[in-house]
Chains A and B, each alone.
Chain A
Amino acid sequence: MSNQNPTPAIRFENVHRHFGEVKAVDGVNLDVLDGEFFTFLGPSGSGKTTCLRMVAGFDRPTSGRIFLHGDDVSELPPYERDVNTVFQDYALFPHMTVLDNVAYGLTVRKAAREQRTRRAEEMLDLVRLPGLGKRKPSQLSGGQRQRVALARALILRPRVLLLDEPLGALDLKLRQEMQVELKALQEQVGITFIYVTHDQEEALTMSDRLAVFSHGRIEQVGSPAEIYESPATEFVAGFVGISNLVRGDVARGILGTDTTFSVRPEKIHILEPDAAVQGGMDSVRGRIEEVIYLGMYTRFEVALEGGGKLTVAQQNLETSSMDVHTARGREVRLVWEKSHSRKLGGQA
C-alpha cells in the first residue's frame, strides 16, 4: 500500500449479532478499503448477509461497532447512511414504473422532477436498459429487474454499494454475463462494492479481495488467488474450490509428519506406479476407482495405498471420454510439488 493508513470504507470492530441464543455474527473484525470489490463468501447461515444488513442499517450489532469512512454508524438508521443496497429479490416497488423506481431516491430527497427524470434515464442507460422507463417491474424479465435494482441503488451515487446475492435468481449464462458486467461497472463508477454470495466461483471471478465466513466468524481474508492457493483453514480449503484434505496416518505416510494438509486436484499429476519421484515432490501410490468425464477436464477418484482418497483433475488436452474411462482400476502414482501441500490450522 502506498498510503500509510488510509481510512477504510468500512470497518467492523469486534461486531457481534445475536438472535436469542443464535450467534449469527460472532466477533467480526474487518477493514474494507475504499474502491474495493469485496466479497463476503460463505454458506447460508454463516453470517455474511447479517453483516451486510448491519452495514446497510437494517440490523444493528448486539455489540461492537461499524464505521463507514471513519464515522461510527452503528446506531444510524438506513436513511442516514451513505450506502445503497441491491436486494436479493430486487425489492422493486410494484406500483411504480421503472423510471419512478429508479428515481425513488431522488424523489424522496425532493429533487425537481426534471432532474429526477434526467438522472433516472442516465442510470437506465448505464445499466443498458434505455427506453424501458414507462414499464412496470412485472413486465420485465429477471435480468432486467436486476439491472433496474442496480440503477435504483446507484442513482444517489453512494460511496458504498451493497449487493446481497444479486445474481442468485438468474440462470447460469446470464449470471456469468452479469458477473463480468458488474465488475466492469464497479470499475467505471469507482465505488466500493460489498458483494454477498455463497457461490465460490462468483467470488473468485469478481473480487479484489474476499472474506470467507463460517459460523458467524471470518475464516480468512485475502485476494482470490491467496484464498484459493493458500487456504488458511480446513473450512476454507473445503469451501473454496474442490480440495483434498489429508490428515492423520495418511498425511504421515506422505509428509512424514501427521500434519493436516490440503492439495488442489489440478496440482496432482498421475504417473505409472513405479515411476521415479524427483526431489521437491510429494507422492503417494493408489488405484483409480472412479472416472468422471466433465468435458473440459476429467476427475479421477484415487484410493490411496495407506487408506483415504484423493481427487485428481486433469485437463482433457488430448484425451476424450473413450480414453479416460479405460483408466478405471489402474494402479498409479500421484505426485505434486511439495509447495502445493498446504498445511492447515483451525478446525473444519
Chain B
Amino acid sequence: MTATSAAPRTLIQRVSNYLYVRPRVSLLMLLALPLLWFLIVYIGSLATLMVQSFFHLDGFTGQVVRQFSLSSYAQLFTPANVDIVQRTAGMAGVVTLSAALIAFPLAYFMARYASPRMRPLLYLSITLPLWSSYLVKVYSWKLILAKEGMVSWVINTLRLDAALDWLLGLPEIGGPSLSISPIGIYLVFLYVWLPYMILPIATALERVPKSLIEASGDLGGRPGVTFRRIILPLAFPGVVAGSIFTFSLTLGDFIVPSVMGNSSYFIGQAVLSHQGTSGNIPLAAAMTTIPMLIMGIYLYASRRAGAFDAL
C-alpha cells in the first residue's frame, strides 16, 4: 500500500468519496425525507387549515363558500364560543399548574437524591403508564370515579360523604358524581399528562451541576436562597417544556371531556362537532387557531420572563 492511494475501485468507494468531498449533497440526502414530510404533511396541512378558516358556511345552503371572509372568526366571539375557550384554557391552566406542583418535587428527588441504580427504575415507572392505551386509562378512571366506584367507596368508608357532596355541589366545577364533572376531567387530565411534566423537569434538574449548588452555599446562600436563585431559574426551561406538553395536550383533547364531562363543551369537542355533525369546517378550522394562538402568546411571555436565559 502506498500513501497516495490508487483510484477507488468499487462503486461504493466512489460514491463515498463523491459524497465526502461534497458535504452539501450528503446533507441534502440526510434531510430529504424529514424535509418532505415536514413540508407536505406538516406545514402543508397547517396552511390548508389556515386557508379553510377564512372560508365560511352559507347559512341557507349549508355549503362552504370558498371566498375570503372573516365571518368564521367573527363567530368565535359569540358568547357560547367564548365560554368554550375560557373553559378549555382555564382547565389547561389549572392542570398545568397542578402538574408542575406535583412534578417538581418528584423530579427534584429523581435528579438529586435517587441513587444511580434507582434512577432508571423511577424513569421507567413514570413512563410505564404511557405504554398502555390512552382510552383504556380514561375509561378506567371513569369506573374509579363513578358513584359506585372505588373513590366513592373510600370516601364513604372514611365517612367523608358530606365533603364530597359539598364539592360536587359547587357551581361550575361540580356535577352529579366525580365521573361526570369538571373535577373528574381535571383529575384525569392531571393523571394522563403528568409524565410529560416530570420528564423534562427531571432532565433540566439533572443538568444543573452540583458545583453550582455548592458555590451558592459557599457564598452564603441558605438552601432556600439557592433554590430560588439557582435551581429554579436553571430548571425553568424544563418547567416550560413540560407545561407546553400539558397545556397544549389539554387544549386539544376531546376524549377526556366527552367521557368525563357534562354537556359543556371544550374546544376539542366543539371542533369535532363543527366539522363532523354540522359540516362547518371553516368554523372548526378557525377554532383550532385558538390553541395555537394561546401557545404562541404563552411561549412569547415565557421568553420575555427569561425562561430560556439559561439555555
Q: Which residues in A have some Cβ–Cβ distance to B below 8 Å?
A: 56-58, 77-79, 83-85, 87-89, 91, 93-95, 104-105, 107-109, 152-153, 156
15 contacts between A and B (CB under 8 A): A79-B220, A79-B221, A83-B218, A84-B219, A87-B211, A91-B209, A91-B211, A93-B212, A95-B233, A95-B310, A104-B229, A108-B219, A108-B220, A108-B229, A152-B215
- Mostly helix, strand, loop or mixed at chain B's interface? helix
Chain B residues with Cβ below 8 Å from A58 are 214, 217-218
Asked if B211 contacts A78 (CB within 8 A), the reply is no
Asked if A94 contacts B310 (CB within 8 A), the reply is yes
Asked if B214 contacts A91 (CB within 8 A), the reply is yes
Q: How far is the CA of A58 from the CA of B212 in the complex (A)?
A: 12
Asked if B220 contacts A109 (CB within 8 A), the reply is yes
Asked if B234 contacts A108 (CB within 8 A), the reply is no
Residue from A85, A89, A93, A95 within 8 A of B218 (CB atoms): A85
Chain A residues with Cβ below 8 Å from B222 are 79
Residue from B209, B212, B214, B225 within 8 A of A108 (CB atoms): B225
Q: Mark B278-311, 1 if CB is under 8 A from A, else 0.
A: 0000000000000000000000000000100110
Within 8 A of A (CB), among B212-251: 212, 214-222, 225, 229-230, 233-234
Given the interface pairs A94-B234, A108-B225, the reply to whether A87 lies near B217 with Cβ below 8 Å is no
Within 8 A of A (CB), among B186-204: none
CB distance from A104 to the nearest CB of B (A): 5
Closest to B308 in A: A95
Asked if B220 contacts A156 (CB within 8 A), the reply is yes
Chain B residues with Cβ below 8 Å from A83 are 218
Closest to A89 in B: B211
Asked if A104 contacts B233 (CB within 8 A), the reply is no
Asked if B234 contacts A78 (CB within 8 A), the reply is no
Additional pairs, 14, CB under 8 Å, beyond known A91-B212, A93-B230 = A56-B214, A58-B214, A58-B218, A77-B217, A87-B211, A87-B214, A88-B211, A91-B211, A94-B310, A104-B216, A104-B221, A108-B220, A109-B220, A152-B219
Chain A residues with Cβ below 8 Å from B221 are 79, 104, 108
Q: How far is the CA of A87 from the CA of B218 in the complex (A)?
A: 10
CB distance from A19 to the nearest CB of B (A): 14
Closest to B219 in A: A105
Within 8 A of A (CB), among B83-130: none
Asked if A156 contacts B219 (CB within 8 A), the reply is yes
Asked if A84 contacts B218 (CB within 8 A), the reply is yes
Chain B CB count within 10 A is highest, among A77, A83, A91, A105, for A91
Chain A residues with Cβ below 8 Å from B309 are 95
Chain B residues with Cβ below 8 Å from A79 are 217-222
**8 nearest A-B residue pairs (beta carbon):** A91-B211, A105-B219, A91-B215, A95-B310, A78-B217, A108-B220, A108-B221, A85-B218
Q: How far is the CA of A255 from the CA of B102 in the complex (A)?
A: 75
Q: How far is the CA of A87 from the CA of B214 in the complex (A)?
A: 9
Given the interface pairs A93-B230, A104-B219, the reply to whether A78 lies near B214 with Cβ below 8 Å is yes
Total interface residues on B, CB under 8 Å, equals 20
CB distance from B78 to the nearest CB of A (A): 45
CB distance from A6 to the nearest CB of B (A): 26
Q: How far is the CA of A94 from the CA of B214 in the complex (A)?
A: 14
CB distance from A347 to the nearest CB of B (A): 35
CB distance from A39 to the nearest CB of B (A): 20
Chain B residues with Cβ below 8 Å from A85 are 214-215, 218
CB distance from B248 to the nearest CB of A (A): 25
Q: How far is the CA of A35 from the CA of B158 in the complex (A)?
A: 68
Q: Mark B146-161, 1 if CB is under 8 A from A, else 0.
A: 0000000000000000
Chain A residues with Cβ below 8 Å from B306 are 95
Q: How far is the CA of A79 from the CA of B214 in the complex (A)?
A: 9
Asked if A95 contacts B211 (CB within 8 A), the reply is no
Chain B residues with Cβ below 8 Å from A95 are 233-234, 306, 309-310
CB distance from B285 to the nearest CB of A (A): 40
Q: How far is the CA of A58 from the CA of B222 in the complex (A)?
A: 13
Q: Mark B18-57, 1 if CB is under 8 A from A, else 0.
A: 0000000000000000000000000000000000000000
CB distance from A164 to the nearest CB of B (A): 9
Closest to B233 in A: A95
Chain A residues with Cβ below 8 Å from B211 are 87-89, 91
Q: How far is the CA of A89 from the CA of B217 in the complex (A)?
A: 16
Q: How far is the CA of A94 from the CA of B222 in the complex (A)?
A: 19
CB distance from B84 to the nearest CB of A (A): 39
CB distance from B311 to the nearest CB of A (A): 9
Q: How far is the CA of A109 from the CA of B221 in the complex (A)?
A: 8
Q: How far is the CA of A87 from the CA of B212 in the complex (A)?
A: 9
Chain A CB count within 10 A is highest, among B211, B233, B306, for B211
Given the interface pairs A94-B310, A108-B225, the reply to whether A87 lies near B220 with Cβ below 8 Å is no
Given the interface pairs A93-B230, A95-B234, A95-B309, the reply to whether A78 lies near B218 with Cβ below 8 Å is yes
CB distance from B112 to the nearest CB of A (A): 14
Q: How far is the CA of A91 from the CA of B209 in the complex (A)?
A: 8
Q: How far is the CA of A76 from the CA of B161 in the complex (A)?
A: 50
CB distance from B204 to the nearest CB of A (A): 12
Chain A residues with Cβ below 8 Å from B230 are 93
CB distance from A223 to the nearest CB of B (A): 29
Asked if B220 contacts A105 (CB within 8 A), the reply is yes
